[in-house]
Amino acid sequence: MRGVVMHGAGDVRVEDRPDPVIVEPTDAIIRVSAACVCGSDLWPYRGLEPVTEPRPMGHEYVGVVEEVGDQVTTLRPGQFVVGSFWASDNTCEICRAGYQSACVHRVLMGTIGTQAERARIPLADGTLVATPGVPADDLVPSLLAASDVLGTGWFAAVAAQAGPGKTVAVVGDGAVGLCAVLAARELGAERIIAMSRHTPRQELARHFGATDIVTERGAEGVARIRELTGGLGAHSVIEAVGTQESVMQSIGSARAGGHVGFIGYHGEVPVEELFYSLVHLHGGPAPVRRFLPELVEAIWHRRIDPGAVFDLELPLEEAAEAYRAMDERRAIKALLRP
């Protein structure tokens, strides 16, 4: 089969890779209907994370089940499924507490590579959520978004305790940040401040429910959020960039007792600043599986359209251009059709 492999910074190729086969009796094989390029794929692409050997790429996917292992009981070939970037059993104590991304048996899909024609999905019963039927073609981007970018934005919004009566600030206008705006709206937030200085992204933020746009960054961004919130700061802040600066900007933008949900994993937080801020801080690899059933349901009934984040669609063979477009910020998010 054909699949995307990264050979080094800036060097993404579509190559022949071995067809996946059932390895564990809990596996499923899916034919990938759509995959995409993640913001996190850009870290090695930009040379900010080492690529020591050729690396199959991709961890977001929707597709059709082709084959299941002997112990798979809830899925059958022909079903259309959505999964997360962590395979999880969904039965262990950690999964039952809603943290499937830390499942005691978890497998990272990024090590498997879903930017490909087919993919092996470990722990299929726990990982995959089947849609009610074969989706209309225009629903596929939104279902694919649920696989990571929406699920991650949703988790960040839940971690930030976005909800009724709350003012929510979203730091970052990438696909996750934009999906977090949508999540905050769905969770009932009263006011949603999107921090963005790019017109098309501002427009999408408004489409997803942003009530205010702030273009300032860093200390000026913090000052502007405080100005908009009576000097107190936002109740909820969603960090959706992933840099030291954005984490500190997020902590600074939240009021005492407020909540910061973060997706970034770079930099350091000085304990003293966190201490005096009195904010709650929670984030990490999103347990997307926790939210998938409700997200799939909302997409299926067309209540939400997170697929709007895909502003570029290319055949799998043109993956290198998809990476380039995202790297150069010509595209918010690129969808690949095998």
Q: Which positions touch a second copy (CB under 8 A)? A: 93-94, 97-99, 101-102, 104, 230-232, 244, 247, 255-257, 262, 264-272, 274-285, 287
Taking the complex as a whole, how short is the minimal distance between the CB of residue 319 and a second copy, in angstroms? Answer: 27
- Shortest spacing between CB 259 and a second copy, in angstroms: 9
Report which DSSP code applies to 164. B
**Beta-sheet strands, E only, within 198-242:** 212-214, 234-239
In this structure, is the dihedral angle defined by the CA atoms of residues 7, 149, 289 and 141, taken in order, positive or negative? negative
CB of 51 to a second copy, least distance (A): 18
Report the C-alpha gap between 48 and 70 in whole angstroms: 41
* Nearest distance in Å: CB 21, a second copy: 30
Task: Report d(CA 286, CA 281) in Å as an integer.
Answer: 14
Name, in order, each residue with C-beta under 8 angstroms of 320's C-beta and a sequence gap of 6 or more.
12, 13, 14
| Residue in this structure with the two tokens 């930009």, named with its chain if needed | 46
Minimum CB distance to a second copy smaller for 20 or for 258:
258
- 3-class secondary structure per residue, 67-130: EECCCCCCCCCCCEEECCCEECCCCCHHHHCCCHHHCCCCEEHHHCCCCECEEEECCHHHHCEE
Of 56, 262, 61, the residue nearest 147 (C-alpha):
61
**Rounded least distance, CB 99 to a second copy, Å:** 4
Nearer to a second copy by C-beta: 27 or 41? 41
How far apart are CB 34 and a second copy at their closest, in Å? 27
- β-pair type (334-337, 312-315): parallel
Output 21 or 97, the one with its CB closest to a second copy: 97
Minimum CB–partner distance for residue 149 and a second copy (Å): 17
Nearer to a second copy, 164 or 275 (CB): 275
Q: Closer to a second copy at the Cβ: 93 or 328?
A: 93
Pair 337, 313: CB distance under 8 Å: yes
Q: Which is nearer to a second copy, 206 or 226 (CB)?
A: 226
Residue that is written with structure tokens 């696989």 in the block: 147
Between 106 and 120, whose beta carbon lies closer to a second copy?
Answer: 106
